[in-house]
Homo-oligomer: A and B are copies of this chain.
Amino acid sequence: MEKEVTIYDIAKRLNYSPATVSRALNDHPAIKLDTKDLITSMAREMGYRSNTFASNLRRQRTNTIGVIVPRLNSSFVSSVLAGMEKVANEAGYNLIISQSLESVTKEKANTQTMFNSRVDGLLVSVAYDTEDIEHFTAFTNKGIPLLFFDRVIGNDQFTSIVIDNAKAGYEATAHLLKLGRRRVMHITGNLKRNVYADRLKGYKQALAEYGIPFDERLVQVTDLSQEVGVEVARQITRMPIRPDGLFVTNDLCAVSCMTTLKQTGLSIPDDVAVVGFNNDPVSQVVNPALTTIHYPGREMGEIAAKSLINHLNGLMDIQATNTIILRSELIIRGSSQK
């Protein structure tokens, strides 16, 4: 186990002061080029590595961005993270990532950890059951930038990056109605979450526009799991009057529902036309391919990270920019029409 090399060691070896070494290593303009070269090459030779903690402690800055997501293992989330990591990495930031597993309790704990880790900023997509935002006030109090994406909270108080979920919900539903479907069922998630509430809004708006009365029994709030998909399919087969359209706000759930419906002998899209959400890889692969809403996950991640970093570098004020809305898009495939 080698001894750690510090700027003092380099300084001593070269008969410079630690201050000069520090400056040289940080490419400070006031240092002669020769000196810089000398010092950097000696640093390399001696196997020096900068101590981020000492530096952070001193500079009160971490070059680290915290990310809290509901869960890591979803195709949507991983696209978002891939986008974030790319942008952050290029800008010299590290990402600390944690998952709330859809529980506020864990979300709170994670938030605390992030806070203690003194992340320069925080990117959050909230859990299923997050009610208030008290656990984030520590950040706002300290002026640490906080940016919500996808599952956002408190429309006005925080900057958020979203798609137009109402519009997406409207388009999905209107698409089914345009095809002549009149009994469109809607499977969605916890309505506390903007994404689901807004999509429901869009659903209702489309119905209204086509003069179809809203029927509460056709809307189901679930956890959008694959199991739910199976269950919903079972329910549908048992219904006296079956829906002829189905709008599920999650592709995996939609797919498992569709598959189960097919197994019970129903035909997709003839008996039930289906629209999903997210444009998950499975949506292209299922048969018939699933009509869905493309959700620009990677872009969302990139823009979220970029906005935060710009803000940190004083190039932009995310507090001023209240909401960034990305374009989603209806992708029509076989599950809704032949």
Contacts and interface: CB of A to CB of B under 8 A. Distances in A.
A85 B98 contact: yes
Given A75-B73, A89-B98, A96-B96, A53 B56 contact: yes
Given A85-B98, A285-B259, A118 B75 contact: no
A218 B286 CA distance: 28
B78 A72 contact: yes
A51 B118 contact: yes
A51 to B, nearest CB: 7
A26 to B, nearest CB: 13
A86 B98 CA distance: 8
Contacts of A106: 89
A313 interface: no
Interface in A92-145: 94-99, 101, 106, 110, 113, 115-118, 138, 141-143
Contacts of A248: none
A95 B73 CA distance: 15
A147 B99 CA distance: 23
A28 interface: no
A280 B82 CA distance: 18
A74 interface: yes
Nearest to A137: B47
B85 A141 contact: no
A17 interface: no
Interface residues of A, number: 54
A300 B142 CA distance: 39
B118 A53 contact: yes
Residue of A49, A78, A81, A255 contacting most chain B CB atoms (<10 Å): A78
A47 B285 CA distance: 52
Residue of A73, A255, A280 contacting most chain B CB atoms (<10 Å): A73
A99 B287 CA distance: 33
A154 interface: no
Contacts of A51: 57, 116, 118
Contacts of A280: 281
A116 B75 CA distance: 31
A252 interface: yes
A201 interface: no
Contact of A82 (B73, B82, B85, B96): B73
A197 to B, nearest CB: 27
A99 B85 contact: yes
A280 B51 CA distance: 40
A77 B110 CA distance: 22
A318 to B, nearest CB: 16
Across the A-B interface, give the 9 residue pairs with the lowest CB-CB distance, nearest first.
Answer: A287-B287, A72-B82, A73-B82, A53-B57, A78-B78, A73-B78, A53-B56, A1-B143, A285-B286
Given A2-B142, A72-B82, A280-B281, 12 more contacts: A1-B143, A49-B115, A49-B116, A51-B118, A53-B56, A53-B57, A53-B118, A57-B57, A72-B78, A73-B79, A282-B282, A287-B287
15 contacts: A1-B143, A51-B118, A53-B54, A53-B56, A53-B118, A73-B78, A73-B81, A77-B78, A81-B97, A94-B113, A95-B97, A255-B285, A280-B281, A285-B286, A286-B287
